[in-house]
Amino acid sequence: MLPDKITSLIFFLVAMLGIYSSGCKKESVFQQKTKPEIVIDANSNMLNSQTIHFYKDTVYVLATNLSRDSSQTLVIDAGTLIKVNDKFSITINPGATIEAKGTVSEPIVFTSAAFTGGAGLISSSFGQRYWSGIRIYGNALHSITTTSGTLSYVRIEFAGDENFIMPSLLLSNVSKETIVNNVQVSYSTITPSFEFAGGNFNAANLISYAGNNNADFLIRGGYTGMLQNLLAYRHPYFPNTSLGFNLTGLLIRDTATVPVITNLTVLGPNLQKGTNILVYSDVSNRVAGMITTGGAKFHIRNSVLLGFPKGGWYLDDNKTAVSIVNGESDFTYSIVHSNDSTRAFYLKPGAYPPYVSQDFKDYMLQQQFGNHLFVGADEFMLADPFNYDVNPNPLPKAGSPILSGANFDGVFSDPFFKKVDYRGALGSDNWLQGWTNFVPLQTNYNN
């Protein structure tokens, strides 16, 4: 009898195991499946196609540089993930187009192919190597009606150029027929997050987050477009070393450059834990929320400069100062703050003799310009901007003074600009919601 009992028990256990296994298989149907990956290397036939199409049901790993030449197109569906190996880049040359059309719920993500929350090794001297970013070269110098395509609801993460040349996203001589909106660049290394070099394209809802060194937004080379809702958002742990002469949220330079900018927010570290005071307080270099230099002209309105320890606005040279005094440039209806209030408006010594920073501040705070100086960062009444480890919230709270006071007269009456009440990049309409990511270091992208 004992062997029969043992046999029965064995059959019972096997049957139960089968039921349990079937149950597990049913449950697995409801688990998210990992998407298949396609590695694109230098020998991939896809690179020879007139149109390269990336679909959201596949993860693409670039193991080579991807370039599109005149009449060629790169099409990327909403929700697509593209990982890029160390040093490689994506280039859209004059006459080519990129159609990267994400959505609020399905943004397009370009990120490092390295492990989650990091980038590949570069050398013992630098510590890390990122991929080399996206470069779009337009035909605005020759044809203002030629489009370079669309960048909409796109995230670019862990990019940069180890040779100190290329930004994470370069838009060079791109025409106003090109659509650029809702783009977030995070953890750019060494070089700027965004660089606009010439061209006249317009753009809105742009974010630079946790840039390491240099400028969040570099505007140069004769760029003359219109920009609205720009957020330069610094993390206190970056930069951790001084690798550049300029450390700023917005750098405008060159004599032919005349951007029209409204609703800019530069949000510095505000001396939060981890801030490298030696870097941010290095007065021998240009370190400020905004730097204007090289005879550049500009129209900036309804903006906020906040949280840089040793500089709100750094005015660097005589030509730029002259353009402000004679009305060719203007900075109006904006609020400026620096942890050192004496440097909120900083005029480089000798830039406009015999005047000094105090004169610059007094001039810009004249009633006719509608500007204000805030001594403390808490005056802006932002919700939770320095909660970096979870999900920072830079939106203004109810009752914040930046929720009102905007002005869109004059050149800012152009139909491109959305006429809002708030000053700074963020107000009552939360355009960050749904598509942004402020914790990419903690994000597992299909690994």
pTM given for the model? 0.89
103 located within any domain: yes
The one-letter code for the residue type at 57 is D
pLDDT of 124 reads 36
Give the Cα separation of 229 and 180 in Å (integer). 12
CA-to-CA dists, residue 89 to 46, 114, 120, 212, angstroms? 16, 15, 14, 19
Q: How far apart are CA 209 and CA 223, in angstroms?
A: 23
Q: What is the pLDDT of residue 182?
A: 98
260 falls within a domain: yes
Pairwise CA distance, residues 344 & 312, whole Å: 4
Confidence at residue 127, expressed as pLDDT on a 0 to 100 scale = 41
Question: For residue 24, is it within any domain?
Answer: no
Kindly state whether residue 62 falls inside one of the protein's structural domains.
yes
Please confirm whether the linkage preceding 94 is cis (ω < 30° from 0): no
Read off the CATH number of the domain in which 116 is found. Answer: 2.160.20
**pLDDT at site 3:** 47
Task: Indicate whether 446 belongs to any domain.
Answer: no
| Residue 253 belongs to a domain | yes
Domain contains 8: no
Indicate the burial class of 317 (C-beta count within 10 angstroms; 0-12, 13-18, 19 or more): middle
> Residue 273: inside a domain, yes or no?
yes
Please report the pLDDT score of residue 382 as a whole number: 97
- Angstrom CA distances, 83 to 121, 151, 187, stand at 16, 17, 15
Residue length, the chain?
447
Question: So what's the pLDDT on residue 118?
Answer: 58
What pLDDT is stored for residue 242 in this prediction?
56
Closest residue by Cα to residue 247 from 301, 192, 198 = 192
Which residue range forms the structural domain that includes residue 386?
A: 51-439
> Count of domains in the chain?
1
Distance between terminal CA atoms of the chain? 54
For the chain, 447 residues long, the average pLDDT of each consecutive 10-residue run is: 42 36 35 78 95 96 95 97 92 97 98 68 47 92 80 94 81 96 92 95 97 91 97 87 74 96 96 81 83 96 95 95 97 96 94 96 97 96 90 94 97 98 95 94 77
Among 73, 46, 158, 74, smallest CA distance to 110 is for 158
* Rounded Cα gap, residues 121 and 322, in angstroms: 47
- C-alpha distances in Å from residue 56, one per residue of 38, 75, 286, 435: 12, 11, 43, 15
Phi, psi of 292 (to 5 degrees): -120, 135
Give CA–CA dist 317/391, Å, rounded. 39
Contacts of 343 (CB under 8 A, 6+ apart): 288, 310, 311, 312, 357
Distance CA 179, CA 174 (A): 10
User: Could you tell me which residues come within 8 angstroms of residue 369 by beta carbon, excluding any fewer than 6 positions away?
Assistant: 330, 331, 332, 333
